[in-house]
A = this chain, B = another copy of it.
């Protein structure tokens, strides 16, 4: 058995999982107040004890605890190098945790944990390599090769959303111009739609009850399906940049599966249908005999972080 902990800004979630990534139970504790890292870590250890009690699975049966944290962890040294929201700087997370519970502890970035969950138990299970991209407020991602997260020599990867697809292109929140995220986050899509709805006649405004700020990603996709020209144009553009970025990842890494998660992925098969032909055209051609990377929709939902963290110790 493994325990996975997902450290979030509003709560800490912990779950007990078996070695296939099946989640047996999950519990939460509030984490919305600013406090010392030692208190946060004590709460994590308490969650582990509670999980053990409530499942009846003794702590001696827990092979490892995995912690998924925002920021840049260094699993070799067992520390979080940097996390601005919690104000973590080189905090000794493993050592502090083991003051409470004497178990092997693994630490990873939370987006990478989600990618590992998809690889072990989700859309990419069985694949020897996969890249999971998350289309949400930003564009995030994680690379899994042979069942292990690859986050680079400095554990700072993978910043897939900040690879440039248009040199000197659209302004990105990171300060640079032309990042994939500036074109393909859900936020970027919604921004384009709101800008257009201010200037053009479109059903999107009506669907949002006349309130520009209520136009969201779902409305843009639905309006495009209804034949609204403004929405169709925005979606076409969005898919064009998304397909270019996905093809870039394929041309660089040739993963067996690319998993698409985040809010935009709720479009499901419709999204894949829009993407597939473009991506096929954009991947560097050798011959039909070379197998193609598969595009899939993420399956793990909100539990991805916990399950991926649990699977770190596998």
Contacts and interface: CB of A to CB of B under 8 A. Distances in A.
B167 A241 contact: yes
Question: How many copies of this chain?
Answer: 2
Given A153-B129, A289-B89, A254 B82 contact: no
A290 B82 contact: yes
Identify whether the interface residues of A are mostly helix, strand, loop, or mixed.
loop
A175 B285 CA distance: 10
Nearest to A163: B248
Interface in A142-157: 143, 145, 150-157
Tell which of A90, A160, A248, A249 has the most Cβ of chain B within 10 Å.
Answer: A248
A290 B154 CA distance: 6
A165 B175 CA distance: 17
A72 B151 contact: no
Interface residues of A, number: 54
Q: List the 7 closest pairs (A to B, CB-CB), nearest first.
A: A152-B254, A153-B256, A157-B254, A82-B287, A159-B284, A163-B248, A159-B251
A89 to B, nearest CB: 7
B252 A291 contact: no
A253 B157 contact: yes
B254 A286 contact: no
A31 interface: no
A271 interface: no
A255 interface: yes
Contact of A252 (B81, B89, B158, B290): B158
